[in-house]
Structure 1
Amino acid sequence: MNNSLPEGWKVSTIIDLGRNHKDCVQTGPFGAQLHAEDYVADGVPLILIKNIKDSGLDMKGIPRISQEDANRLKRYQLDEGDIVFSRVGRVGSCFLATENEVGWVISGQTLRMRVCDELIDSSYLLYALRSEQVQKDIIGESVGSTRTSINTTILENLEVNVPPLPEQNKIAEILTSVDDVIEKTQAQIDKLKDLKTGMMQELLTRGVGVDGKPYTEFKDSPVGRIPVGWEVRPLGDLASFVTSGSRGWAQYYAENGPVFIRIGNLTREHINFRFKDVIHVRPPNSAEGKRTLVQSGDVLISITADLGVIAVVNDDIGEAYVNQHVSLVRLKEPKISRWVGHFLSSDDSQKQFIANNDAGAKAGLNLTAIRNTQVAIPDLSELELIVEALDAVDLSISQKREKLRKISDTKKALMQDLLTGKIRVNVGLKALVN
């Protein structure tokens, strides 16, 4: 812990900040005290490690126990201001209990931290515990070679920077306001994603109609119910070239240069690329190198592991090549490539990839399966309208994600400055006196 602190700040261990040494840090109940068969449909929530995320509490799939069991396990119930840690696996993840979680019960793979309100603001402590330095300390002190874990002793002796209480309150207030913006931005992204899902279901199966009038006649097809005027064709008929990427290119990896496109660069959220953890290559000047070089308008499909993840190459990508886990489909008419990309991302098309998995337990698609994948095609004018609508939502999602990234970076920098005293907050003379 950094000892170069501003005047009035100190370094304290968690046990020094606890209400008493007995229940400052409490491990959840042992397995013999509670079993999965004790779970009930409606009751008191039981917090498992899967419910503790880096951003806070995740209610998805949270089990419940009877009020009788909760009363029996009263020692493990939460009070407002308690902080709950993941004890094993993703150690260091934690959340702050609010009035909504009072009476909830922690499970055996979690730890509850309870401190004195007169010594430290629990909201401030949460941010201090999530700081980069404290997280490093937690991981450094964790035990276990195959699955890391933390215990009461590690948490009790954990050190945090403790400014005067009014300054703690102000720091927590600032960081909470940033978290509110992050939460609202994420909610906007989630709404846009839901909107896109609904639009895809509607537009890719019912179209936009003719002259502004919705279709009234539909037909069954290999890709589901579609307007009568649409045709269905195998991807192989629409393509001039179908291949998969190269193997054994590790020898060509480089620090910069052309991108080597892998499944990780494709995403199910949209048909644009995700350039994170990019590998660069210096490809061989050979037929093999040229075969796997992408062109604008190419449709890329993951053919191993997570089957059917789609991307469409645009003009911005520059020189790039696909690896062996990605199929490259070059269409005869590149102007329909984004339609094909969106359509192949739809639920009905994804069922085709699942059905054509030819590798048993290990997922895999061969090039014959790719060529036989069916695509519904409306006329060009309708196709362009639908693509424009879906691309507009994708653009909005991307813009919101970029905003979220910038806010998250701002928060990270703020935490570093505020929690070390590098930047001081103005709490006012009255607050300091009180």
Structure 2
Amino acid sequence: MSKWISTSLGEVAKIITGPFGTQLHKSDYVDSGVAVIMPQNIGSRQVNYEKISYISEEFATTLRRYKVLKNDIVFARRGDVEKHAFITESEEGELCGTGCFLVRFTSEHVLPEFISLILSTPFVKKWLVLNAVGSNMPNLNTEILKNVPIKFPDLSTQQKILSTISSVEYKIRINTKINTNLLDMAKAIYMHSFFGKHENAKISDILLENSKSNIQVGEAREARGDYPFFTSGETIYEWDNYLVKDRNIYLNTGGNADVKFYIGKAAYSTDTWCISAKNDFTDYLYLFLDAIRPELNQKFFQGTGLKHLQKALVKDKEIYLPSKEILTEFNSIVKPMMEQVSFNTRNNQYLSDLRDWLLLVLMNELATIE
């Protein structure tokens, strides 16, 4: 049986701080070119391209120190610090952006992809959150990342574990890709059919507000349960009781604008505004809010320091509402898409729990893979 070695991330990799704001300005971004991985682009062990920015090939050469290579890892320096992106061949050559750390492996005794799995376990995620600094928003620094505790067996066992876990990871990736495609189609149908039409109502005319939650995000980070738990971050946690059911929209109330949609029993944090709509308009309202997300971010989030969503402005926002007949036709197309997205989201939660449980059993040497 292979013995697991306990050490820290800094013993097997070097930590590189991403470019500072003086090196990379908003004016440097272009419509296409070299992708820049920022904190908002870091998903669950992958790069999220939905809000990615680009710089020119020419300008990227001046920042070549920060170009990512296959098997690197990119961490956010602030915000959702427990998440990271593992760099595959398809992302090689992109840029580690401002507000991020680049982890580059130096040890011959570890497989980078295996360490990425270890870094995604609940134990390490909890450690990162507890050791992050900052009162309003968790922040990492190089010393914290160097001290992240990790465990690994010999290379042969690492490869066996990766092969076992890969089927679960593959299914999670497929579900995520299907969801992206379905949401893109639903958004395109909405934009083609309704966006830009003359407003004839206000959001308040159809809005239904759910009760404010008193559950803090920190409580959910350590929880396990049967129901998805939505927050003002991108990570979906779990909770053992549900607060709402059926079709609901979840909006960030602090930081930056984001809009999520889920069908089923769920819970949410105190910094999340959970709403739905009258007269079967919930799916429609979600797609409208998603379409105006840049406007929400620029005009509806106000305040010094950490900005907050001004709910009164959202309620007063004008909107075009189609007739009942047209809405029924729209829903007949879009609703099945949104239902499949929610089903895949639940499935991914179960698969992630299975992966984490299997890794925990193996890390505690309660089982082996032959």
For 2:323, the equivalent position in structure 1 comes to 376
Give the CA deviation at 1:150: 1.5
Count of aligned pairs: 314
Cα distance between partner residues in 2 of 1:171 and 1:260: 37
The one of 161, 169, 174 equivalent to 2:164 is: 174
**Separation in structure 2 between the aligned mates of residue 361 and residue 399 of structure 1, nearest angstrom:** 29
RMSD value, Cα: 4.7
The alignment partner of 1:70 has SS state of: helix
Distance 1:92 1:243 in 2: 34
Which amino acid letter does the alignment assign opposite residue 415 of structure 1? Answer: L
2:3 match = 8
* TM-score, reference length from structure 1: 0.57
Q: Is contact 1:78-1:102 (8 Å) kept?
A: yes
- Give the whole-Å Cα distance in 2 for the aligned partners of 1:387 and 1:43: 38
The alpha carbon displacement at 1:157 in A equals 2.4
- By how many angstroms is 1:144 displaced? 2.2
Q: 1:25-424 residue pairs with structure 2 within 5 A?
A: 25-116=15-106, 118-194=108-184, 196=186, 266=249, 274-277=265-268, 309-310=276-277, 362-363=312-313, 365=315, 376-378=323-325, 392-393=336-337, 395-424=339-368
- Letter in structure 2 aligned against 1:310: A
Query: What whole-Å deviation, never above 9, does each CA across 1:390-410 have from its counterpart, x for those lacking one?
Result: 655555444434433322322
Q: Output the amino acid matched with 2:160.
A: K
CA offsets, 1:280-304, max 9 Å, x none? xxxxxxxxxxxxxxxxxxxxxxxxx
Query: Could you tell me how far 1:82 is from its partner in structure 2?
Result: 1.2
Q: Tell me how far apart the structure 1 counterparts of residues 91 and 286 of structure 2 sit (CA, whole Å).
A: 39
- The runs of 5 or more residues in structure 1 that have no matched partner are 1-5, 19-23, 206-219, 225-235, 237-241, 251-258, 280-304, 312-336, 427-434
The structure-2 alpha-carbon separation of the partners of 1:413 and 1:104, relative to structure 1 and needing over 3 Å to count, comes to same
CA distance in 1, matches of 2:72, 2:61: 18
* Unaligned stretches of 5+ residues in structure 2: 215-241, 251-258, 301-309
Instruction: Indicate whether 1:425 and 2:369 are aligned.
Output: yes
Kindly indicate whether the alpha-carbon contact (under 8 Å) linking 1:266 and 1:309 is maintained by their aligned counterparts in 2. Answer: yes
* CA distance in structure 2 between the aligned counterparts of 1:111 and 1:118, rounded to whole angstroms: 21
The answer to whether the Cα contact below 8 Å between 1:40 and 1:65 also exists between their aligned partners in 2 is yes
**Deviation of residue 14 (structure 1)?**
2.1
Correspondence for 2:253: none
Q: For 1:421 and 1:182, how far apart are their aligned partners in 2?
A: 25
Distance of 1:193 and 1:222 partners within structure 2: 24
Structure ID, larger Rg: 1
The DSSP-based 3-state class of the residue aligned with 1:32 is coil
Distance 1:162 1:73, change over 3 A: same
Structure 1 residue 364: Cα displacement: 6.2
Change (3 A) 1:84 1:391: closer
* 1:241-298 C-alpha deviation (Å, 9 max, x unpaired): x9988999x9xxxxxxxx976999556887965442599xxxxxxxxxxxxxxxxxxx
- Deviation of 1:124 after TM superposition, in Å, equals 0.2
Would the alpha carbon gap of residues 12 and 377 (structure 1) be closer, same or farther in structure 2, given more than 3 Å must change?
closer
Contact kept in structure 1, 2:249 and 2:275, CA below 8 Å: no
User: In 2, distance between residues paired with 1:245 and 1:97?
Assistant: 40
Task: Tell me what 2:303 maps to.
Answer: none
Q: Is the Cα–Cα contact under 8 Å of residues 80 and 98 in structure 1 kept in the other structure?
A: yes
Structure 2 CA distance for partners of 1:310 and 1:122, relative to 1, 3 Å: same
CA distance in 1 between counterparts of 2:356 and 2:324 reads 47
- Alpha-carbon contact 1:307-1:363 (below 8 Å) kept: no
**CA distance change for structure 1 residues 8 and 168 in 2, over 3 Å: closer, same or farther?**
same
Give, as a single letter, the amino acid of the residue that structure 2 aligns with 1:158. V
Shift of 1:164: 0.5
Asked if structure 1 preserves the Cα contact closer than 8 Å seen for 2:244 and 2:265, the reply is no
Partner amino acid, structure 1, of 2:175: T
**Distance in 1 (alpha carbons) for counterparts of 2:21 and 2:327:** 58
Q: CA separation in 1, counterparts of 2:360 and 2:323?
A: 52
Q: Shift in Å at residue 166 of structure 1? A: 0.8
The answer as to whether partners of 1:42 and 1:65 remain within 8 angstroms in 2 is yes
Q: 1:265 to 1:45 in 2, by over 3 A?
A: closer
Q: Displacement, 1:412?
A: 2.5
Change (3 A) 1:66 1:11: same
Is this contact kept in 2: 1:44–1:105, CA < 8 A?
yes
Shift of 1:168: 0.9
CA 1:198/1:108 → structure 2, altered by over 3 Å: closer, same or farther? Answer: closer
Aligned equivalents of 1:8, 1:117: Cα separation in 2: 18
Q: Give me the TM-score of the superposition, normalised by structure 2.
A: 0.66
